Amino acid sequence: MNRFASPLFAALLASAFAAEPAAAPDKLPPLLAKPLYQFTEAETGFYLGHLAAAEPDLRRRILHLARKNIGQPYELYLLGEMPFETHDPQPLYCLGKSDCLVFTEHIYAMALSRDWSGFMRLLQRIRYRDGRIGVATRNHFTETDWNPSNRWLVRDITAEVAGDKAVKFAERIDRSKFLLGRCGLKTTIPVEDHLEVCLPYAELARADSHLREGDCVEIVRGVVKPGVPVNDTFGGNAWIGHVGLVARGADGTLHIIHSAEPAVREETMAQFIARETAQLAERDAAGKARLIGFKFLRLQDDPLAHLRQLDGAEAPRVTLPDGKAAGF
């Protein structure tokens, strides 16, 4: 469909005339025709303001922004804590490129925001435990850091969706070892033993009717030992190795929008599974990680209301490594 004939375009253009009658009509149409990942910071803030005014539905804003970002080049390990820490000297945000988590975090933060400052604050609240910027407080491990820290944004519905088809997988999370190896940072964080569940990829049909656009899908990968019962964690180990956003095609088919080599794309979940399982026997024989299943996180109905319960009136609360409020 011609994007300039869409109801959302019409609403955005109408809001632009109402908000800034002199300048906005010239600014908005080029942005509607341009991919999100080519926006400048100023253009991003401007666009988020008009999107929030034109589209009150959070899920529709998420899908609009995610699809507008299709084609964004993929690159791993893009973000760090500069200029506030030097352990990981990458910036706090990136508009031009993404990996799977950077894409998901940026889209959620943008959809919840009305301007650049709000986007930056929400992005850091999503990326860091309690919004405290620092490599040691970053949500490195999806299962034990990101998911619990962002319960105000999404909640895990995997167990209720999977029912008796749920597959257990256990992990040992050694954050001190990780931080020392990745950033050269010495810490004394206790090792955490963690048990999770996922829905096997072959049982995806069980989840279809439960999922809504804008929900988060997490891909569980692991090393499988042949001959071990499925509900005994496959006798190997597993972890969340990829994330994306739930979408629907025009015919209602379940889709995923995600950042992976070479760029952000939208595809059916069936296509995703077919590609991931094309060489299962070979990967298992070689002891290589492969697709095991999925976790699903439901987008909260009013994430900002949940966040205000945690952070108070100043939500989102974001602080620097020294504990001072971040002045975004």
- Which tokens go with 5? 């004939």
- pLDDT the model gives residue 255: 99
Q: Any bridge partners for residue 172, and if so which?
A: 193
Place of tokens 């706090």: 92
User: Could you count the other beta carbons within 10 Å of the beta carbon of residue 40?
Assistant: 10
The model's pTM is 0.91
- pLDDT the model gives residue 22: 43
User: Could you count the other beta carbons within 10 Å of the beta carbon of residue 123?
Assistant: 24
SS3 per-residue string spanning 70-123:
CCCEECCCCCCCECCCCCCCCECCCCCCECHHHHHHHHHHHHCCCCHHHHHHHH
What one-letter code names the amino acid at 69? N
- pLDDT the model gives residue 24: 57
pLDDT tens column, 168-214: 888 889 999 999 998 899 999 999 989 999 999 999 999 999 999 99
- pLDDT the model gives residue 1: 41
Architecture of domain 151-299: Roll (2.30)
User: Could you count the other beta carbons within 10 Å of the beta carbon of residue 200?
Assistant: 18
- pLDDT the model gives residue 237: 78
